[in-house]
Each structure stands twice: as C-alpha cells, then as structure tokens.
Amino acid sequence: MRTATSVPLSFVTLACSLVACAGGSSSATGVGEDDGPGTSSHGGSESSDDAPITTTTASPSSTTSTGHGSDGEVSSSEGGAVDGAVVHLNLTAGSSMSPSGSPMLGTDDAAGTAAPRFADAPRAPAPNVPSTCDVPSTPIGQASASELESLRYYISSIMLCESLETVGTAWGNPSGCLTLYQATTMQDYDGFGADEARAHPELYVDLMDPAALAALDPQLSLGPDAVREYNYGIISWYRPVMVRASVTLDAGGGGPLTLFTSDGDVVEDGMFPGSFTNEIVDLSAGPATDGVAMLSNGGNWFKFQHPFEITQADLDAGTSYTLDLVFDPDRIISGMNCTTRGTAFKDEAGRAIFVPLLELSPVPRSTADTTWRETYMIHVDDPGLASTFDLRLQLYSRMDDPNRTIYGADLKGLIAADTTSEPLSQKVSFVVDDGAGLVELQDYAALPMLTGLARLDTIGDAGTVTVLCNGTLPALSEQGCASGSLTVDYELVASAPL
C-alpha cells in the first residue's frame, strides 16, 4: 500500500456511489463529443449493445434514453474552492430516482444558497473587439483556485463503457455501458447556446460550490448485466459554461494587470470557425461577474490503462462502488494582454480570458478503496524554444491497486518564470505501457505525446522524459518545435489520496 506524501495543491472531487444487488433494469447510451476544437458538430452517434448494461433501482419504471442533456442545480456561492480543500460528493445507494428511472440533478435551491437570475443580470454595451493586436501579448497569467469563484456546467451524462468508437475527439457507438448519471430533460445539443444558458441557470451545477454539489444525489444499484470489464470513462455536457473568475497577469513582462469575467455578446469567431468569443467592453473593470464561455466541445472521454472489472463475486458480496470525477481548478483559467486567436472572453483592448475544456477524470473504484493522485511537474526548457514553460501532469489511480492502473490523466500547460506566451496543452486520451515498465501518453488519435515516464514514489524524486514535437502538444509547436523530440526534466511534486 502506498504512503501519502504531498505538497498543498487545489482539487475538487465528485463521487457517485453504486451498490451491487439484483432487480429490474434500465439502459442508456450516450452521444459523444464534437469533432474537436474549432468545430461545432458534436460527432458521436447513439447505439446500444446487444446485451446492454442494466442499472437496477428501487423504482419500478424502466427507460432507455440517449443524447446530450441535463437537469441541474445552480448556486450563487460568493467564493471559490479554498486552496488545498477537497470537496467530496457522496452519492449513496438507495431508492431515490427520477421519474424516468434515471438519476437526476435537483432543481431546487441548494441549502444555504440562492439561485441567481442570470438571464436578468446587467449586460455590457456592445463592444468593438479587435481581431488583431496593436499591443504586446504580455503580460500573461493564470487564475489560482481561489480566483476561480464559480464554474457552472450543464452535465448531460456519465458512463463507464466496455467499448467505444472514437474519431478524433468525437466518440460514438458505445457498448456495454453502465450509465451512472443520465439527464431527465434533454435539450438540442447544437441549438443550446449562450442565450439558452442564460435563460436556464437552474440546469447548471457549480463545480466550485460544495452546497451545489451536494444536490447531485443519484442513487443506483447494479444488476447482473453489470458484470464485465470497463475500458472507458465518459462524461458529457452542453457547450455553454458559466464562469466567474479574475486572472492576475503578472508574467512575461509588463503589468501586473487583473482581468475579470463579465457577460456580453457571444459571437462565433470569424477566423476560427467553431470557436466563440464573449465580447466585453473592458475586462479590467471589476469585480468579476458571471459570464458565458461557449466551449467548442461537449465532453471528455478517457481509456483506462487497464480495464476496471465488476465480477459476479462482487455482486454476490454486495460490493459498493464509487466513481470519482476529479479535476484540479488551480490555474486552468488563463489571461493575456492581447491575442488574435479565438478565446472565451475578449475586450476592446484585445485583452482576453481563456476557458479550456475541463479535463474531468472519471476514476472507478470500490467504495472501500481510495482514489490516488500523482502530480508531476515537467520543465520544458530548451534553447531552441521561443519560451520556456511547465507541464503539470496528474495521474489518477486506486490506492489499493498493486498494478497502479491509471484511470485518468490531465496534462496542463503552466506559466513558468520565463514564459512569454500562454502554453496550450492537448488532452490525454490514452495511457499505455511501453514494454519497459515506463508509461506513454497518447492523444485522441493514439499518437505519442510523452514517452519514457517512470512513475516515482517519493516527493522530490526526478528523472527525464521525452516530449514529441509532432503536433500533439500545441505548446511545443507554438514555441518553435515542429519536428523531432525534446528530452526534459520532471519531478514528483505531490502524491496522495483524494
């Protein structure tokens, strides 16, 4: 068993629990992400396995539902997650179900909070946002977890699947799927935009608010058809997300300067089709208020390093299971003094706030087990690059698993002391063994991103890894590495249960 050692880091954990038993059934399949950044088509197709997974509940009703959509809870928490805090959401087994037989998010106000009328919030006057930069792109910065006050998502579904077809970042034809959460109210995925999000804040849940998260309480039981090996974790959402954050720009030269989210007109970017910008008059005018960020994609999938298995013996023993949805809110929101590319928020001076796709990692485990996270800092510092930067790699596994199977991976570009432009990162979709006891990270097309990673055991242990300049890491391409590879240093900075 591993021993916890860590340095303070911010993260949020959501956990949904299941219990094995016998009974009736309902099944569900989902549709997947769109074709990838820069597109608006949501890709994935719906399909059910010839022997679909059943989710047995105390409710007598049974249904099959498909697609994007969700009911939700919205909260007006005045503060974000505290640095180093863990938010645990426990969804216990029982008989409370939605009328359709699927677990649902409540639409009543969470205890101690009030649902804001986001649609009635004051809107900024129409701005004149430039498409070019007449000022330096620096300073740049990234929001700490405490600066990210609110991050509201309209969640559609959460599934574990035996198999899945992937094309780019899109997915379709899932089979052998255990649906852990399925919305009861569906919306048109392509038609649900910024105005619809503003009009329906009750459909959203604030991932930064413990009170709102506590309203997520689906209660599920497992039937015998759940016995199989699961290879994929999938979470789907609608593209409009609601953000309230401030970003301090203090790196790269110039500044410091603080930018604040607010709400304006969300328009499609003429230079980057499928990208949308919330156009604001002045992002430097605080305080931060809620604004809609229109993402280019509607979900996230990850293939486990090795399958997660539910056996008949587990069901006979009444084993309880939990799926943790984990992410680190620290420095996921970034800002810059000026940019020409598509971004979530932009003002008349060219200043911008960027909101990326959230890399929620679904980690299945028995309830008696614990999710474990390793955090590595990779230092990308090469004389041939235009700028240095760091990559934060977080690997999620189970504490009692002797094989240390990786069930989630998050690779985030971070601003370092000498960084002069925001380091973009590509999502990790596959983690594979390289045959020499080392780990290889791959993108959605199964192209290698990072190779030769040795998983370390003690905080401060260090080594070297190879990062590929093959287009899988946009941060490398932007800094001038278009071919070949780089050997860079990395170290373990945290290793602890969540």
> What is the structure's pLDDT at 334?
94
Which of 18-22, 196-200, 374-378 shows the lowest mean pLDDT across its residues? 18-22
154 or 23, which is more confident = 154
89 has a pLDDT exceeding 80: no
236 has a pLDDT exceeding 50: yes
Which of 129-143, 381-395, 458-472 shows the lowest mean pLDDT across its residues? 129-143
132 has a pLDDT exceeding 50: yes
Quote the CA–CA distance of 380 and 391 in Å, as a whole number.
7
Query: pLDDT category, 80, cuts 50, 70, 90?
Result: very low
> What is the structure's pLDDT at 91?
34
79 has a pLDDT exceeding 90: no
- Minimal CA–CA distance to 143: which of 258, 36, 30, 45? 258
137 or 295, which is more confident = 295
348 has a pLDDT exceeding 70: yes
Quote the CA–CA distance of 49 and 226 in Å, as a whole number.
12
> What is the structure's pLDDT at 14?
57
Which of 46-50, 133-137, 296-300, 429-433 shows the lowest mean pLDDT across its residues? 46-50
Give the H/E segment covering residue 198: helix 194-199
Which of 125-129, 169-173, 479-483 shows the lowest mean pLDDT across its residues? 125-129
> What is the structure's pLDDT at 15?
59
3-state SS, one letter per residue, for 335-394 = EECCCCCCCCEEECCCCEEECCCCCCEEEEEECCCCEEEEEEEEEECCCCCCCCEEEEEE
Mean pLDDT of 40-51: 32
Strand order in the sheet with 140-142: 140-142, 334-336, 352-354, 345-347, 276-280, 265-268
User: Under a CB-based contact definition with an 8 Å cutoff, are residues 20 and 314 in contact?
Assistant: yes
396 has a pLDDT exceeding 90: yes
Max mean pLDDT among 15-19, 65-69, 443-447, 457-461 falls in: 457-461
Most distant CA pair in the chain, distance: 68
Mean pLDDT of 355-368: 86
Which of 36-50, 378-392, 399-413 shows the lowest mean pLDDT across its residues? 36-50
Mean pLDDT of 459-468: 97
246 has a pLDDT exceeding 80: yes
Mean pLDDT of 185-190: 89
Q: Write down the pTM of the prediction.
A: 0.80
- How does DSSP assign 260-328, residue by residue? E----EEEE-SSSTT-EEEEES-TTS-S---EEEE-S--EEEEEEEEEEEE-HHHHHTT-EEEEEEEE-
136 has a pLDDT exceeding 70: yes
Give the H/E segment covering residue 156: strand 155-167
> What is the structure's pLDDT at 222?
85
Tell me, what DSSP letter sits at residue 65? E
Which tens digits make up the pLDDT trace of 105-114?
222 232 333 3
Query: pLDDT category, 48, cuts 50, 70, 90?
Result: very low
> What is the structure's pLDDT at 310?
93
Query: pLDDT category, 131, cuts 50, 70, 90?
Result: confident
Which tens digits make up the pLDDT trace of 250-302?
998 887 999 999 999 999 877 777 789 999 999 999 999 999 999 988 888 99
Mean pLDDT of 371-392: 94
Measured CA distances, 403 to 218, 304, 459 (Å): 30, 13, 20
Average pLDDT, the chain: 77
118 has a pLDDT exceeding 60: no
Which tens digits make up the pLDDT trace of 322-341?
888 888 999 999 999 988 77
> What is the structure's pLDDT at 78?
37
> What is the structure's pLDDT at 116?
40
User: Positive or negative, the Cα torsion across 376, 403, 164, 440?
Assistant: positive
Percent share of the chain, pLDDT over 90:
47
> What is the structure's pLDDT at 192?
95
